[in-house]
Chain A
Amino acid sequence: MYIAKTSLSALIISTVASVASARDQVQIAGSSTVLPYASIVAEAFGENFDFPTPVVESGGSSAGLKRFCEGLGENTIDIANASRQIKESELKVCAKNDVTDIIEVRIGYDGIVFASEKGGNKFAYTQSDWFLALSDEVLVDGKMVANPNKTWADVNADMPAQLLQAFIPGTKHGTREVFEDKVILAGCEATGAFDVLKEANGGDKKAAEKACISLRTDGVSVDIDGDYTETLARIESTKDGIGVFGLAFYENNTDKLQVATMADIEPTVESISKGEYPVSRPLFFYIKKAHIGVIPGLKDFAEFFVLDEIAGEDGPLAEYGLVADPELEITQETIANETTIADMM
Chain B
Amino acid sequence: MSNTLNNSLLTLDARTKKRNAAETRFRVYGIAAIGAGLAMLILLLLTIFGNGLGAFQQTFVTLNVPLLEEKLDKNSTRNLEKIKKVSTFGYAPLLKQAMEDTLAENGIETDLKSKKQAALLSKSAAAQLRNYVLANPDMIGATVEFTFLANARVDGYLKDRVTRESIADDKNINAAQLDLVDALLAAEVIEQRFNLSFITGADASDQRPEAAGMGVSMLGSFFMMLVVLALALPIGVAASIYLEEFAPKNWITDIIEVNISNLAAVPSIVFGILGLAVFINSMHLPQSAPLVGGLVLTLMTLPTIIISTRASLKSVPPSIRDAALGVGASKMQSVFHHVLPLAAPGILTGTIIGLAQALGETAPLLLIGMIGFIASNAPDSVASGFLDPNSAMPAQIYEWAKRADPAFYERAWGGIIILLVFLITMNTIAVILRRRFERRW
Interface residue ranges, A against B (CB under 8 Å): 8, 11, 15, 18-19, 21, 23, 25, 27, 29, 35-36, 38-40, 42-44, 46-48, 50-53, 55-58, 73-75, 77, 226-230, 248-249, 251-255, 258, 309, 316, 319-320
Assess the A252–B378 pair: CB atoms within 8 A: no
The answer to whether A53 and B375 touch (CB under 8 A), given A11-B230, A27-B288, is yes
Q: Which residues of A contact B206 (CB under 8 A)?
A: 36, 39-40, 320
From B88, B284, B372, give the contact of A57 (CB < 8 A): B372
User: CB within 8 Å of A: which of B354-410?
Assistant: 369, 371-380, 385-389, 401-406
Assess the B287–A230 pair: CB atoms within 8 A: no
A-contacting 9-mer, from B68-76, B165-173, B296-304: B165-173
* Interchain CA distance A251-B206 in the complex, whole Å: 13
* Interchain CA distance A29-B244 in the complex, whole Å: 46
* Interchain CA distance A258-B166 in the complex, whole Å: 12
User: CB within 8 Å of A: which of B172-189?
Assistant: 172
* Interchain CA distance A48-B386 in the complex, whole Å: 25
Judge whether B207 is part of the interface by a CB distance below 8 angstroms: yes
The answer to whether A36 and B170 touch (CB under 8 A), given A15-B291, A55-B389, A228-B404, is no
The answer to whether A55 and B372 touch (CB under 8 A), given A18-B387, A40-B205, is yes
Assess the A58–B230 pair: CB atoms within 8 A: no
* Interchain CA distance A312-B351 in the complex, whole Å: 54
From A36, A46, A75, A316, give the contact of B287 (CB < 8 A): A75
B408 nearest CB across to chain A (Å): 9
19 pairs from A and B in contact (CB 8 Å cutoff): A8-B230, A27-B369, A36-B207, A39-B206, A42-B375, A46-B378, A47-B130, A48-B130, A52-B379, A52-B388, A57-B369, A58-B372, A74-B286, A248-B404, A251-B171, A252-B405, A254-B167, A316-B123, A320-B207
The answer to whether A23 and B286 touch (CB under 8 A), given A29-B372, A36-B206, A42-B375, is yes
Judge whether B24 is part of the interface by a CB distance below 8 angstroms: no
Q: Which residues of B contact A18 (CB under 8 A)?
A: 385-387
**B179-220, CB under 8 A of A: which get 1 and which 0?**
000000000000000000000000011111000000000000
Assess the B402–A226 pair: CB atoms within 8 A: yes
Q: Which residues of A contact B286 (CB under 8 A)?
A: 19, 23, 74-75
The A-B contact count (CB < 8 A) is 136
Assess the A319–B207 pair: CB atoms within 8 A: yes
- Chain A CB within 10 A, most for which of B172, B373, B405: B373
From A36, A56, A57, give the contact of B404 (CB < 8 A): A36
Assess the B170–A254 pair: CB atoms within 8 A: yes
- Chain A interface helix/strand/loop/mixed: helix
User: CB within 8 Å of A: which of B132-166?
Assistant: 162, 166
User: CB within 8 Å of A: which of B217-259?
Assistant: 230
Assess the A55–B404 pair: CB atoms within 8 A: no
From B205, B284, B378, B388, give the contact of A36 (CB < 8 A): B205
Given A55-B369, A248-B404, A251-B170, 5 more contacts at CB 8 Å? A57-B371, A229-B403, A229-B404, A254-B169, A320-B206
Assess the B376–A53 pair: CB atoms within 8 A: yes
Q: Which residue of A lies closest to B162 (CB)?
A: A255
With an 8 Å Cβ cutoff, the count of chain B residues facing the other chain is 51
Q: Which residue of B lies closest to A19 (CB)?
A: B285
The answer to whether A44 and B88 touch (CB under 8 A), given A252-B404, A319-B207, is yes
From B87, B162, B385, B404, give the contact of A249 (CB < 8 A): B404
Judge whether B280 is part of the interface by a CB distance below 8 angstroms: yes
The answer to whether A29 and B369 touch (CB under 8 A), given A40-B205, A320-B207, is yes
Judge whether B417 is part of the interface by a CB distance below 8 angstroms: no
User: CB within 8 Å of A: which of B67-91?
Assistant: 87-89
B154 nearest CB across to chain A (Å): 15
A215 nearest CB across to chain B (Å): 24
Judge whether B260 is part of the interface by a CB distance below 8 angstroms: no
- Chain B CB within 10 A, most for which of A19, A53, A228: A53
Q: Which residues of A contact B379 (CB under 8 A)?
A: 46, 50-52
Judge whether B48 is part of the interface by a CB distance below 8 angstroms: no
* Interchain CA distance A230-B398 in the complex, whole Å: 12
B9 nearest CB across to chain A (Å): 60
* Interchain CA distance A56-B162 in the complex, whole Å: 29
Q: Which residues of A contact B166 (CB under 8 A)?
A: 255
* Interchain CA distance A120-B172 in the complex, whole Å: 23
Judge whether B127 is part of the interface by a CB distance below 8 angstroms: yes
Q: Which residues of A contact B376 (CB under 8 A)?
A: 25, 52-53, 55
Assess the A27–B287 pair: CB atoms within 8 A: yes
* Interchain CA distance A338-B406 in the complex, whole Å: 39
Q: Which residue of A lies closest to B86 (CB)?
A: A48
The answer to whether A40 and B87 touch (CB under 8 A), given A29-B372, A255-B166, is no
Q: Which residue of B lies closest to A39 (CB)?
A: B373
B270 nearest CB across to chain A (Å): 19
Q: Which residues of A contact B130 (CB under 8 A)?
A: 47-48
* Interchain CA distance A278-B372 in the complex, whole Å: 31
User: CB within 8 Å of A: which of B425-441?
Assistant: none
Q: Which residues of A contact B230 (CB under 8 A)?
A: 8, 11
Q: Which 10 A-B pairs have the closest CB atoms?
A: A57-B372, A39-B373, A46-B378, A255-B166, A36-B206, A254-B169, A56-B373, A43-B205, A39-B205, A252-B404
Assess the A40–B207 pair: CB atoms within 8 A: yes
Q: Which residues of A contact B87 (CB under 8 A)?
A: 48, 309
* Interchain CA distance A55-B374 in the complex, whole Å: 5
Q: Which residues of B contact A227 (CB under 8 A)?
A: 402
B204 nearest CB across to chain A (Å): 7
From B123, B205, B401, give the contact of A42 (CB < 8 A): B205
B410 nearest CB across to chain A (Å): 14
* Interchain CA distance A87-B166 in the complex, whole Å: 42
Assess the B280–A38 pair: CB atoms within 8 A: no
The answer to whether A19 and B207 touch (CB under 8 A), given A8-B230, A248-B404, is no
Q: Which residues of A contact B380 (CB under 8 A)?
A: 52
